[in-house]
């Protein structure tokens, strides 16, 4: 596999060099192209200014901020329960996962821990939101590369997951289900059996994606050897999640830190890929989706019984202090640096969102690629606008 990728990479680089030589000889004029803010590839309103030489990118600069909602300021005028409702709008595709680190940070400051059953359900919902999020990524990836069908399959199977999330939490997109000290409610009857069914469908979906997209020779030739990010650069820019693991860095916050979640109770595996190219990033996400379904299955089997809420005061005042909690969200490392002054609401919340870092590497990685690769690299880096702009 690597030799194939190498060969393609080499021919690609050679072609680029030849083009560049030709352009110097011909003294061609460049062209500035605005990709976005309204552009199908930016799924949202990200603008990328690229300077083109023919179809080759000489220089690229993303311009974010078309959707800045000022969450860090908004958190300062809200109480802790209200902030939970707010933050699940950051990465709107994996919204439950946004709540968890914030709640964990508040719990850390209050020095309470959710009961085991709540931890289990949190972890399950966390993984479900990962599946919903990354499942859509897999479909969207197809659209970015010109295949229209995968996205509908992704929507079809993501619907099952959203139904599950809605069945348990009441909210399809914005669950607001996590509470300091536990969860709002227990699962409704029949949910576990249904989830198992859905997980089977999702594994089938992963296989379909493998057949329809990942095994497709055109797909591979579009992604292999494109947008290579070496591990050192990835770390410097703070890339996280599948983007980091695709560069060969074995780092997963679900495994590599001790949080009151149930990840250490199940048998699962962190996928890494040595190539660091676009294909590796997409491939890791596919594998992780499948791994997530397996995690959910195991957790459902071992779910403990008991309460879902620890003892917390009715009016929540978080003691003075600072806490940093980050979790491995669908997009990567999502963390909250919560500063409390012993008030009803936080004093300052720094939201470290994954996409912000992931996209900040774009000027570095887009130099010298072709316009179609701009799209495929952006798609493989996978960002959610709300997660960049917050």
Partner 1 sequence: MLAVDLPYWAQSLLRVLGGTVAVLLPAGTIVYLFLFKMMSFMQSRLGPMEAGPYGSMQLFAEVGKWLQKEDLAPDGADKRIYRMAPLVVLVSTFLLVAVVPFGPDAYFTNFDAGVFYMLAVSSISTLGILMAGWSSANKYSLLGGLRAAGQLIAYELPMVLAVLGVVIQAGTMNLQQIVVKQNSDSIFGWDGLGNPYILTQFIGFAIFMIAVQAELTQTPFDMPIAESELVSGYMTEYSGFRFLIFFIAEFATAGVFSLIASVLFLGGWGVPFSWFGWDAATGSVDNWMNVAGPIIMITKMMVLSGIIMWVRFSYPRFREDQLQRFAWKVLIPVSLLNIMLTAILKVAF
Partner 2 sequence: MSDDAATQELAALPGDALREGVVQALRDALGDALLDSLIKPNDDVWVRVRTDAWVQAGHVLRDTVGCDYFCFLSGIDWMPSPFGRGEDDPTAPAPERDSTIKQGYAGGDTRMQVFARVTNLSKHFGVTIKADVADDAPAIDSWIPVYAGANWHERECHEMFGIGFNGHPDLRNMYLPTDFEGHPLRKDFPLLARLVKPWPGIVDVEPLPGDDAEEGEAS
Partner 3 sequence: MAAPKKPQVPGLLKGLGVTLNTMAQTLKPRKLGGGSATVQYPHEKETPPLRARGVIALREDNCTSCMLCARSCPDWCIYIEGHKELAPPRRAGGAPRKVNKLDRFDIDYALCMYCGICVEVCPFDALFWSPEYEYSEPKIADLLHDKTKLGEWMETVPEAPALEAGAEKKKGK
The residue from 2, 28, 63, 149 that contacts partner 1 (CB under 8 A) is 149
114: contact with partner 3 by CB under 8 A: no
Tell me how far apart the alpha carbons of residues 368 and 227 are, in angstroms, rounded to a whole number. Answer: 10
Chain Cα centroid distance, residue 72: 20
257: contact with partner 2 by CB under 8 A: yes
User: How many other β-carbons are positioned within 10 Å of the β-carbon of residue 170?
Assistant: 14
251: contact with partner 2 by CB under 8 A: yes
29: contact with partner 2 by CB under 8 A: no
Q: Which residue has the tokens 């695709």?
A: 246
Cβ proximity of 139 and 340 under 8 Å: no
Tell me how far apart the alpha carbons of residues 357 and 304 are, in angstroms, rounded to a whole number. Answer: 37
Of the pair 211, 250, the CB lying nearest partner 3 is at 211
Rg for the chain (alpha carbons), in Å?
22
Restricting to residues 288-317, name those near partner 3 by CB under 8 A. 290, 303-308
Of the pair 66, 214, the CB lying nearest partner 3 is at 214
The residue from 122, 130, 174, 245 that contacts partner 3 (CB under 8 A) is 174
User: How many other β-carbons are positioned within 10 Å of the β-carbon of residue 64?
Assistant: 21
Q: Within 13 Å and on the Cβ side, how many CA atoms surround 358?
A: 30
31 binds, among partner 1, partner 3, partner 2, none (CB under 5 to 8 A by kind): partner 1
The residue from 106, 153, 228, 259 that contacts partner 3 (CB under 8 A) is 153
Q: What is the DSSP letter of 309?
A: B
- Torsion, Cα 186 191 192 194, to 10 degrees, reads -170
256: contact with partner 2 by CB under 8 A: yes
By residue count, the chain amounts to: 390
156: contact with partner 3 by CB under 8 A: yes
- In the complex, what is the shortest distance from the CB of residue 348 to partner 2, in angstroms, rounded to a whole number? 5
- In the complex, what is the shortest distance from the CB of residue 307 to partner 3, in angstroms, rounded to a whole number? 5
218: contact with partner 1 by CB under 8 A: yes
Binding mask 37-56 for partner 1 (x = CB under 8 A): --xxx-------------x-
Contact stretch for partner 2 (CB under 8 A) within 68-76, 153-161, 219-227, 375-383: 68-76
233-236: long-range pairs with CB below 8 Å, 24+: 233/361, 233/364, 234/276, 234/361
Of the pair 68, 156, the CB lying nearest partner 1 is at 156
Of the pair 25, 311, the CB lying nearest partner 3 is at 311
270 binds, among partner 3, partner 1, partner 2, none (CB under 5 to 8 A by kind): partner 2
- In DSSP terms, which residues pair with 323 in a beta bridge? 338
User: How many other β-carbons are positioned within 10 Å of the β-carbon of residue 29?
Assistant: 7
Q: Which residue has the tokens 């499942």?
A: 135
The residue from 323, 367, 371, 372 that contacts partner 2 (CB under 8 A) is 323
Judged by the rule CB under 8 A, the positions of this chain that interact with partner 1 are: 15, 31, 33, 39-41, 55, 142-149, 152-153, 156, 212-213, 216, 218-219, 221-222, 370-375
């Amino acid at each position: 596999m690597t030799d194939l990728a190498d060969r393609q990479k080499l021919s690609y680089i050679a072609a680029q060099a030849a083009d560049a030589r030709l352009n110097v000889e011909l003294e061609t004029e460049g062209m500035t192209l605005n990709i976005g803010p309204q552009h199908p590839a930016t799924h949202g309103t990200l603008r990328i200014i690229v300077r083109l030489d023919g179809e080759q990118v000489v220089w690229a600069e993303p311009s974010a901020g078309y959707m800045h909602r000022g969450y860090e300021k908004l958190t300062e005028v809200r109480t802790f329960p209200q902030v939970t409702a707010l933050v699940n709008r950051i990465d709107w595709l994996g919204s439950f996962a946004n709540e968890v680190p914030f709640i964990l940070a508040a719990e850390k400051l209050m020095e309470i821990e959710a009961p085991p059953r709540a931890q289990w359900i949190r972890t399950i919902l966390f993984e479900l939101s990962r599946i919903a999020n990354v499942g859509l990524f897999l479909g969207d990836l197809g659209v970015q590369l010109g295949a229209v069908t995968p996205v509908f399959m992704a929507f079809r199977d993501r619907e099952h997951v959203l139904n599950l999330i809605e069945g348990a939490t009441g909210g399809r997109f914005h669950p607001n289900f996590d509470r300091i000290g536990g969860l709002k409610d227990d699962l409704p009857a029949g949910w576990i059996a249904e989830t198992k069914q859905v997980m089977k469908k999702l594994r089938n979906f992963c296989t379909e994606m493998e057949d329809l997209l990942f095994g497709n020779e055109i797909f591979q030739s579009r992604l292999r050897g494109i947008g290579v990010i070496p591990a050192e650069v990835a770390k410097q820019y703070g890339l996280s999640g599948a983007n980091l693991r695709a560069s060969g860095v074995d780092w997963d916050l679900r495994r590599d830190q001790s949080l009151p979640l149930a990840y250490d109770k199940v048998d699962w595996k962190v996928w890494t890929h040595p190539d660091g190219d676009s294909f590796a990033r997409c491939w890791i996400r596919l594998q992780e989706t499948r791994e997530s379904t397996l995690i959910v299955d195991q957790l459902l089997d071992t779910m403990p019984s008991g309460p879902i809420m620890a003892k917390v005061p009715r009016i929540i005042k978080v003691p003075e202090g600072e806490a940093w909690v980050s979790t491995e969200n669908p997009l990567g490392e999502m963390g909250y640096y919560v500063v409390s002054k012993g008030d009803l609401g936080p004093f300052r919340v720094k939201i470290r969102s994954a996409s912000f870092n992931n996209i900040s590497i774009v000027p570095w990685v887009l130099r010298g690629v072709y316009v179609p690769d701009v799209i495929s690299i952006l798609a493989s880096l996978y960002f959610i606008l709300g997660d960049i702009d917050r």
